[in-house]
Structure 1
Amino acid sequence: MNILVLGGDGFCGWPTALYLSDRGHDVTVLDNLSRRAIDLELEVQSLTPIRPLGERIRAWRSVSGRQIGFVRLDLATEHERLAAVLRELRPDAVVHFAEQRAAPYSMRSPQAKRYTVDNNVRATHNLLSALVTTGIDAAVVHLGTMGVYGYGWSGSAPIPEGYLTVKVPTPDGDVLREILHPANPGSVYHLTKTLDQLMFAFYAKNDLLRITDLHQGIVWGTQTAQTERDERLINRFDYDGDYGTVLNRFLMQAAIGHPLTVHGTGGQTRAFIHIRDTVRCIEIALQNPPSGAKPQVFNQVTETYRVDDLAKLVASLTGVDVAYLPNPRQEDQENDLNVRNDQFIALGLEPTTLSEGLMAECTHIATRYRHRIDPSKIIARSVWREGMATSDDLAFEPVLDTPAEGGPRW
């Protein structure tokens, strides 16, 4: 297939572009490099030394013999250029990662809230509009989030894949209707993904666009079989309070002897998926597009854990302490989360589950690049509303003189 990967320089986009290229697809990356600009804004860098995108692409060609194209383009502001690219490349499929992806960053400030809405909503709509304008019949695969469902909204009831069948009372009796699962976004970021759902439903109904929306859990891990081939291909490893995902943050903290930062009670249950499964799920979705008229929704998760249980697991393996900090998020202290992922399993996904070996991989990377860590960026400080307690209210000094040369204590 001829595939465009929008946001293909990012944490999920880059390994996906390499994976699809390695599988024999013709891949072109579209990216405005905004994630790199946000690093400058936050004055933090990826733990791993990510190379300029041009160097990454040249490195891939040298190790694989395959070429990945690149177009620098702002999806949210350059609709006409996007349409021109679509007409020129005529892709069979479009993978859409080109959105600001961090819930904490989206709540960081009024400016970050507006940027997240402007960038994410306009990017998605410009893509859909450009496909209709050009008449390109490309299957769209969009990376959404489990957060559109909210946490605790459904109690212990299984969360279906996108849709619910409900009874609508009428004078002639109840009528069954299929609706999108009620949304309950917990941040501005999650709100934009909820708005994406409505746009997908409209364009599928009105213009018969073929759209798959992947409600993904929290991604952990760093490397795939492709990014491991050369250090110049290494993936991002975000560890800061805005962009670092919870398990990766725990493993990084363990590698340097920093207490594991659990916010609130740690009773929040979250869905997880390894980066290796993320890229595989994208391929499965590309191979199984819907016919149109209604978006297809997959829950892209492999397992669920309570945050406190993850922290205790990592602590037991590494010997570090757990620090309970005030929760900057406006959320329940505890929640249940029961997620259906039947469709991916039926289509051949063999889930990568939590293992000491894969956790050790992350910790070894953190140990190798520990000299790049800025301890002041570890604590999460973006709060969900004015007046909430922040992590600054509980101070402790990070311990940076461990581990020994032998590496993490597993």
Structure 2
Amino acid sequence: MRVLVTGGDGYCGWATALYLSNRGYEVGILDNLVRRHWDQQLGIETLTPIAPIQQRIQRWRDLTGKSIDLFMGDINNYSFLINSLREFQPDSIVHFGEQRSAPFSMIDREHAVLTQSNNVMGNLNILYAMREEFPDAHLVKLGTMGEYGTPNIDIEEGYITIEHNGRKDTVPYPKQPGSFYHLSKVHDSHNIHFACKIWGLRATDLNQGVVYGVLTEETGMDELLINRLDYDGIFGTALNRFCIQAAINHPLTVYGKGGQTRAFLDIRDTVRCVELAIANPAEPGHFRVFNQFTEMFSVGDLAMMVKKAGVTLGLDVEIQNIENPRVELEDHYFNAKNTNLLDLGLQPHYLSDSLLDSLLNFAIKYKHRVDKNEILPKVSWRNPGSVYAKS
């Protein structure tokens, strides 16, 4: 099977591309490398040193004998997109190629517009390309659990059956996104659902929780294959940030009271979930939704787990509750369903002491690359443009 991974140079995309290639899929990466450009603009760096994409792909070929095709360009450029698809002829399109940070989207008007235009229009271009020339391809789209928000009822997988005034219907689950980034994912979901309904396309939306970890079997094979690991206030995610903060003896920065509960998963499960979706494609005309996570934790609980693991390793770990830069409930109900991927055979990696030890040791190895000025959040939801200096 031929699988094109958009955004294949990124955190989830790179790990997925190597994983699929290692399992015999013919893989192509389509990426405009803008994520690296944003790092330069914002003055931030991944904890790990990332080789140029061409060097990464060549090293993979040297080690495994497996080739990965590379298409460098922007999915918002439709002629480039359709020509790349014609050349590669994908059976499945795994779409990671979007701006993926909520804080980035909330910096100011320009970043909000960039996020929505990049994400929504690029996704639309893929849908039109599929309709015009690849109607039998399967779109596997990375969504986010953040589309749902924190409703005071259980979160179902994409759809909910409701009864109103004596009548019953199954409808898309109501969305309460918490940033302009999450809103862009909601728009994507609506557009994909509509395209499947009117054009008979097939798509799977993977509403992913917060991903942690860095090593997969493939990215751990060689230094040149290593994945990125972000710790800054723009692109860093909770558990990864906490482990890196612990490694440099910086207090773990818990936003507000720390009661915010979210869904989480190991990056090794991210790549496996994508493969399960590819190997079990949706039916034509069907927009299928999987909630892609394995466990739920509050941010405060995560910090306590990292503190415990860090102390065991001899680190001096403190927890600091700081003013929450976001507008979000810090005490709320959160219970989400995640049975579809388990039914397809997912065997989760649960967060364990050994995983935390591994992640902490990894952070310690590269702690010399940490810029302490980028640890604290610099983006305010309430006052866009007032906190972060425009670049």
Interval containing the TM-score (normalised by the shorter chain)? over 0.9
Give the ranges of 4+ consecutive aligned residues of structure 1 lying more than 3 Å apart after TM superposition.
Answer: 387-391
In the alignment, the residues of structure 1 paired with residue 303 and residue 385 of structure 2 have an alpha-carbon distance, to the nearest angstrom, of 24
Residues 261-284 of structure 1 deviation map (CA, whole Å, 9 limit, x = unaligned): 001000000100000000000000
Q: Does 1:163 align with 2:159?
A: yes
CA contact (8 A) 1:2 1:91 kept: yes
Change (3 A) 1:67 1:135: closer
In the alignment, the residues of structure 1 paired with residue 377 and residue 82 of structure 2 have an alpha-carbon distance, to the nearest angstrom, of 39
- The alpha-carbon deviation at position 204 of structure 1 amounts to 0.4
- Aligned twin of 1:225: 217
- Aligned twin of 1:176: 168
> Identity rate of aligned residues, in percent?
46
* 1:168-207 map, 5 Å: 168-169=164-165, 174-207=166-199
Mean Cα deviation higher: 285-294 or 7-16? 285-294
CA contact (8 A) 1:117 1:188 kept: yes
Letter of the structure 2 residue corresponding to residue 322 of structure 1: I
Change (3 A) 1:228 1:84: same
Q: Give 2:371's match in structure 1, choosing from 347, 371, 374.
A: 374
Residues 119-166 of structure 1 deviation map (CA, whole Å, 9 limit, x = unaligned): 000110000011112244210000100011002x1x2x3211000112
- Aligned twin of 2:314: none
In the alignment, the residues of structure 2 paired with residue 326 and residue 24 of structure 1 have an alpha-carbon distance, to the nearest angstrom, of 48
Letter of the structure 2 residue corresponding to residue 344 of structure 1: L
Residues 227-249 of structure 1 deviation map (CA, whole Å, 9 limit, x = unaligned): 00000000000000010000000
Letter of the structure 1 residue corresponding to residue 211 of structure 2: V
Letter of the structure 2 residue corresponding to residue 314 of structure 1: V
SS of 2:220's partner is helix
Residues 298-320 of structure 1 deviation map (CA, whole Å, 9 limit, x = unaligned): 00000000111111121122231
- The alpha-carbon deviation at position 342 of structure 1 amounts to 0.8
Change (3 A) 1:388 1:120: closer
In the alignment, the residues of structure 1 paired with residue 358 and residue 68 of structure 2 have an alpha-carbon distance, to the nearest angstrom, of 27
Instruction: Let me know the Cα RMSD of the aligned residues.
Output: 1.5
Letter of the structure 1 residue corresponding to residue 88 of structure 2: L
* 1:253-402 map, 5 Å: 253-319=245-311, 320-386=317-383
- The alpha-carbon deviation at position 363 of structure 1 amounts to 1.3
- The alpha-carbon deviation at position 167 of structure 1 amounts to 2.2
SS of 1:205's partner is helix
- Aligned twin of 2:133: 134
CA contact (8 A) 2:109 2:384 kept: no
Letter of the structure 2 residue corresponding to residue 40 of structure 1: Q
CA contact (8 A) 1:102 1:243 kept: yes
CA contact (8 A) 1:12 1:97 kept: yes
In the alignment, the residues of structure 2 paired with residue 390 and residue 94 of structure 1 have an alpha-carbon distance, to the nearest angstrom, of 38
CA contact (8 A) 2:252 2:303 kept: yes
- The alpha-carbon deviation at position 346 of structure 1 amounts to 0.8
* 1:100-115 map, 5 Å: 100-115=99-114
CA contact (8 A) 2:106 2:384 kept: no
- The alpha-carbon deviation at position 390 of structure 1 amounts to 7.3
- Aligned twin of 1:96: 95
Q: Does 1:125 align with 2:128?
A: no
In the alignment, the residues of structure 2 paired with residue 290 and residue 363 of structure 1 have an alpha-carbon distance, to the nearest angstrom, of 39
In the alignment, the residues of structure 2 paired with residue 322 and residue 388 of structure 1 have an alpha-carbon distance, to the nearest angstrom, of 28
- The alpha-carbon deviation at position 9 of structure 1 amounts to 0.3
Change (3 A) 1:66 1:148: same
In the alignment, the residues of structure 2 paired with residue 389 and residue 328 of structure 1 have an alpha-carbon distance, to the nearest angstrom, of 12
Residues 339-360 of structure 1 deviation map (CA, whole Å, 9 limit, x = unaligned): 1111111111011111111112
TM-score w.r.t. structure 2 length? 0.96
CA contact (8 A) 2:8 2:14 kept: yes
Change (3 A) 1:102 1:230: same
Which runs of 5 or more structure 1 residues have no equivalent in the other structure? 392-410
CA contact (8 A) 1:137 1:209 kept: yes
CA contact (8 A) 2:108 2:385 kept: no
CA contact (8 A) 1:251 1:314 kept: yes
Which runs of 5 or more structure 2 residues have no equivalent in the other structure? 312-316
CA contact (8 A) 1:86 1:136 kept: no
In the alignment, the residues of structure 2 paired with residue 87 and residue 11 of structure 1 have an alpha-carbon distance, to the nearest angstrom, of 26
SS of 1:358's partner is helix
Letter of the structure 2 residue corresponding to residue 357 of structure 1: S
CA contact (8 A) 2:309 2:356 kept: no
Mean Cα deviation higher: 191-200 or 127-136? 127-136
Mean Cα deviation higher: 228-237 or 316-325? 316-325
- Aligned twin of 1:397: none
Letter of the structure 2 residue corresponding to residue 240 of structure 1: D
Mean Cα deviation higher: 289-298 or 61-70? 289-298
How many residues in Structure 1 have an aligned counterpart in Structure 2? 383
In the alignment, the residues of structure 2 paired with residue 382 and residue 65 of structure 1 have an alpha-carbon distance, to the nearest angstrom, of 44
Residues 91-125 of structure 1 deviation map (CA, whole Å, 9 limit, x = unaligned): 11000000000111110111110110110001100
Residues 175-233 of structure 1 deviation map (CA, whole Å, 9 limit, x = unaligned): 32111100101000000000011101110001111000000000000010000000000
Change (3 A) 1:106 1:143: same
SS of 1:314's partner is helix
In the alignment, the residues of structure 2 paired with residue 198 and residue 353 of structure 1 have an alpha-carbon distance, to the nearest angstrom, of 31
- The alpha-carbon deviation at position 388 of structure 1 amounts to 11
- Aligned twin of 1:45: 45
